Amino acid sequence: MLVDQILLHINKGKFAANQKLPSEHELADQFRVPRMIVRKAYERLQELGYIYSMQGKGSFVKDRKKQIPLVFSKDVSFSEKMRELYSDYYSENVGCEPIPYHTEIYPSLSTDKDEQVYKIRRLRFLGKLPIALHTSYISESLFQDIGELGNTITSMFEYYRSKGYTDVYSEKSILSVIFPTEFEREILQCSSLVPLLLLESRCLDRETGTVLEVSKIRYRSDCFTYII
């Protein structure tokens, strides 16, 4: 497979960032294959985020951000942990809106069909790089002011503390791998073949056992390793 071979070269560090790759014709002659094969390989590498091509100019290697270790933890807020470790970590609220009835989320929150559940999304950054999209589903019946305040929250952990829930924890998480939708590609600034780690869990108050939120976090898998 041509893609594998080119990747090998790139990963070996044989190409510097933004260095021009051989033209499609050149590489085709070199490997004795039709240009279409090289073309497909280059297209694939583009979608994987390794190179970029410009009509008339050529194809160039992207500077590959190296994989930074992140720590998955159970008891501590993701934000708190990250702020400890990385000084340039910050969150940005990217919207709060009511959602229609959902057959899994509503029961998880012990919410009736006629009550309202809100979806609050925060984008997590490390420097200028968006690393994760955090979506929290919480019920209006438990948090009356969420409709108004939802747009301002960047840390649910702090919000819960302000409501008197001082000891919250996360349930067992379900991990799966998905590819980004168009919205996720745009907001996470990644190409279509960058897999996302989807971590689903619920957040509970330890004292009462109340389910505070259903949480879905989508992590970019290309610039991080995760310690579990």
Distance CA 189, CA 192 (A): 10
162: number of Cβ within 10 Å: 11
Number of residues that bind DNA (CB under 7 A): 19
In this chain, which of 10, 41, 42, 223 binds DNA, going by CB under 7 A? 42
- For residue 204 the two structure tokens come to 């509970």
Q: Residues 54 to 83: which contact DNA by CB under 7 A?
A: 54-59
Segment interacting with a copy of itself (CB under 8 A) among 1-9, 17-25, 155-163, 204-212 = 1-9
The alpha carbon dihedral of 5, 131, 60, 54 has a sign of positive
Which of DNA, a copy of itself, none is residue 55 near (CB under 5 to 8 Å by kind)? DNA
> What is d(CA 77, CA 218) in angstroms, rounded to the nearest whole number?
15
Per CB under 8 A, the list member of 31, 60, 72, 90 interacting with a copy of itself is: 72
When CB distances are held under 5 to 8 angstroms depending on the partner's kind, the choice from a copy of itself, DNA, none that residue 34 binds is: DNA
Could you tell which of DNA, a copy of itself, none binds residue 53, using a CB distance below 5 to 8 A set by kind? DNA
Q: Is 164 helix (H, G, I), strand (E, B) or coil?
A: coil
Q: Angle CA(227)–CA(202)–CA(121) in degrees, nearest 5?
A: 85
CB 203 within 8 A of CB 127: no
Stretch that binds DNA, among 35-43, 66-74, 121-129, 190-198 (CB under 7 A): 35-43
Dig out the tokens for 121 from the structure. Answer: 């999304």
CA dist 226 and 228 (Å) reads 6
Compute the distance between CA of residue 118 and CA of residue 220 in angstroms, rounded to an integer. 24
Work out which of 32, 114, 177, 209 binds a copy of itself, going by CB under 8 A: 177
Note whether 191 binds a copy of itself by CB under 8 A: no
Residue 219 Cβ vs a copy of itself, minimum distance, rounded to whole Å = 9
With left for phi above 0 and alpha for psi between -120 and 50, is residue 115 left, alpha or beta?
beta
- Among positions 5, 11, 30, 34, the unique one binding DNA when judged by CB under 7 A: 34
Binding site partner of 16, from a copy of itself, DNA, none, Cβ cut-off 5-8 A by kind: none
The DSSP secondary-structure symbol of 20 reads B
Interacting residues with DNA (CB under 7 A):
21, 23-26, 34-37, 39, 42-43, 53-59
Interacting residues with a copy of itself (CB under 8 A):
1, 3-4, 48, 67, 69, 72, 172-177, 179, 181-182, 192-193, 195, 197, 221-222, 224-228
